[in-house]
Structure formats: C-alpha cells, structure tokens
Structure 1
C-alpha cells in the first residue's frame, strides 16, 4: 500500500526535467502572503518604498554577495511582490558558502549529508535564502510579515524575451493599476 496515495501531494510549479542550477536567466516573482502591501505604495507611477521595501531591495542586491555565481538583471520591489531577473553564470569558480567544517567532509550538509537542499546551487536555494533573510529582518520591524509559500519562475530562453521582461519590470510601477497583483 502506498502511503497517502499522492492525495496530499502538491504538484511542483517548476518545469519538469529542467535543471534550475543550469546557467541561464530566470524571471522570478515572489509575493507576500495574502498579497498584503508590506513594501510601500505606488504614488504618481513610482514605487515609494517604506522601511520593509527598502530592506527587500537591499537584500535582493545582497544575493550576488551570497551567491558568487549569480548576476542580477532588472528587479523591482512592488507593494506586495518582488519581480527580478536572476542570471546564473557558473563559468567562474564557485565557492560554497554553506557553513561546514573543511576538515571533516563526512559532516558536510549536517544530518542530511549531500542531500541537504542548501548545498544545491540553484534558483530554489537562492530564493530560500532571500525569503528567509527578509523574513528574519522584517519581523524585527513588523512581527507578522510573511511571504506566500511559493514563488513563480519563468526560464528566459532568448534575447527578445529577456528584453521584454527587463522592460516589463522597469515599467511595472507605472502600470500598477493594470497589474494582476493590484489589490
């Protein structure tokens, strides 16, 4: 008998058979829980970041310091979501930033060993770090801050798509009232 018979399994939003650690550009959208406006408001077609919005922006920029194989494309902090392009480029030597003892390889990854998801160099790990870091810092200011549990990604496959998405992100605040996340 198969336990739960997949009754409680939530299907993955990720593209099957795609390596999300592969070099490439990824358009990411991360929403706040219940689409709450935690990051500020749009005024005269420009995003006015509040304290939490400024933290979200600062920590997005920190991604490149935390993950040496990542470059940032355009990004924008909106009242209730973040849009950004993450570019994975592992052509340079990648340094693992996971805390592990360099003298004791068998303990790498803690009790899960090399199955620890924080050892993977992929989009999920980057977003997990970003959301976790934001949550930790933002809850010092707004105790009930929270993200939606998932995130949306789009694999950018050509330069035309890349340019269109860069423009979409740049113009997002001026088109706020037309945005599907507008509430």
Structure 2
C-alpha cells in the first residue's frame, strides 16, 4: 500500500470501519476470544503434521510471549490458546484490576470468574486513556503489548529489525457465558484438525459452507447447537476478516 507523500490521508485506512463493538468498554472484566494473524498471512510459526501443530523456533517464541502476558498485566488470566502456522487464537480474561492474579491460570468454572460479561451487563464505567489513545489496561492495550514484544523477539531471532510481523488489527469475540466459553475452548483445541479447511491456510481445501460445517462437526465432535454458535462466533472474527480483508473492506487500523 502506498500513501500520498503530500498528505496523511490514506484512502484504505480512512474507509475502514471498526470491528469493535461501538460503545463497549474493553477495560471491563470479562472473557474475550481473540485472533491475531501474521502480515500477509505468512506461515511463520511452524506446520501442521498429522493434525498436530509443530512449532518452530518462531512459534515457540510466540507461545512464550503469549504465556508471559500476565507478567505485564497483573489483572488478566489466560485460558485456552493455540499457535497456528500464521495466526494465534486465545482467550484472555480481564479480572478485577484491584485483585493481583499475576500468573494464575484460569481453571475454575466460569461462574467463579469475576466480572463475566453477560447479556445483563452493568453500564459502561469511565475509562482512562493512555497517551497513545488506547485505554490503559484494556484488551487493546494488552494486544498492542503482545504484538510489540513478540515482534521484537521474532526480529531478534530472525535478525530482521523493523520487519512487520502482524497485521494491523486483531479480532475479538466477547464471551458472554459458560456455554460460549466451553465451545470456544473446544474450537481452539481442535483448530489444528481443521487446518485443511482453515480460511487462513493458503493451501486450504475448497469446500462449500455446508461441507465446512460437516467437517467441523465431525472433526471437533460438536453438537448442532455448538456448531451454530461457533459458526456465528467465527463469523465475527475469522470468517468476517477473511472475506472483508481480501476485498480491502472492514479492516480497521486501531493503532496510532
């Protein structure tokens, strides 16, 4: 993408619509399913072999950076996560900021998770903006930190300073109840099994939507209800991204 040297106006950037939920406070406690993809979908982190993700040194570093997020943000807990050849899926749980849960894994039932986002969630509360415009302690701040740290580490390993590792944006789905949490956990766990049909796979099988649902249900052992939910959640993250990004629409730049 080239930008006119005489103006800060970027026709692609300024015509993107945000995929964040308008008016939603992403500093509030709750669970979030996030996806981050590599620049131009490059498969940098390893390969799928016998339906198992085999991490290379870059993928191992990405996984380590992800696990280290609570060292930078004491108010979060990490849940299920998978590093794929060119993207990462994970669940981040933002807890009460006044409770120090540094390094604690989330293993208790969702009902015991402080601040679970529900359909009857309380009104938005005031948020504090950091100097660069991202709310301090918010999901955006967490993802920006992960992106920055992991990019620096990978470029050090690869001796490629200044190289872009990730696409500008990340994609999130607000987890609203325990049913959704468990379905997304299973989706993440079984993600390597679905790599042949993954829209981020440059060599993916060309199948219809119905065939894709059939393979997802069979390989991941989903019920019809779980499949419907996962399809909906995926639509708001990966599938929407794949369709819109490839047409140059709905791809938001949420960084300065």
TM-score bracket for this pair, using the shorter chain length = 0.7 to 0.9
Once residues 119 and 48 of structure 1 are traced to their aligned partners in structure 2, the CA distance between those partners, rounded to angstroms, is 35
In the alignment, what sits opposite 1:155?
174
Could you tell me which of 186, 204, 207 is aligned with 1:167? 186
**TM-score, with length taken from structure 2:** 0.59
Deviations along 1:10-45, one digit per CA (max 9) or x if unpaired, are 322210011101110000000000100010000000
How does 1:3-22 map onto structure 2 within 5 Å?
8-22=14-28
Q: Distance in 2 between matches of 1:180 and 1:157?
A: 25
| Alignment pair present for 1:129 and 2:145 | yes
1:49-87 CA distances to partner (integer Å, 9 max, x unpaired)? Answer: 001100000000001111111001100000000000000
Deviation (angstroms), 1:9 = 4.8
Structure 2 portions without partners, runs of 5+:
1-8, 102-127, 203-256
The yes-or-no answer on 1:59 pairing with 2:65 is yes
Counting only pairs closer than 5 Å after superposition, residues 1-183 of structure 1 correspond to structure 2 as: 8-90=14-96, 92-93=98-99, 115-116=130-131, 117=133, 120-142=136-158, 143=160, 144=163, 146-183=165-202
Consecutive aligned runs of 4 or more in structure 1 exceeding 3 Å deviation: 91-95
> Using a 3 Å threshold, how does the CA distance of structure 1 residues 42 and 145 change in structure 2: closer, same or farther?
farther
Distance (Å, rounded) in 1 between the aligned partners of 2:35 and 2:130:
26
Normalising by structure 1, we get a TM-score of 0.82
Kindly indicate whether the alpha-carbon contact (under 8 Å) linking 1:138 and 1:145 is maintained by their aligned counterparts in 2. no
Structure 1 portions without partners, runs of 5+: 96-112
Residues 1:46 and 1:16: Cα distance change in structure 2 (over 3 Å): same
Structure 1 vs Structure 2 CA RMSD: 2.2
Query: Does the C-alpha gap of structure 1 residues 22 and 47 become closer, same or farther in structure 2, counting only changes over 3 Å?
Result: same
Task: Indicate the SS of the match to 2:157.
Answer: coil
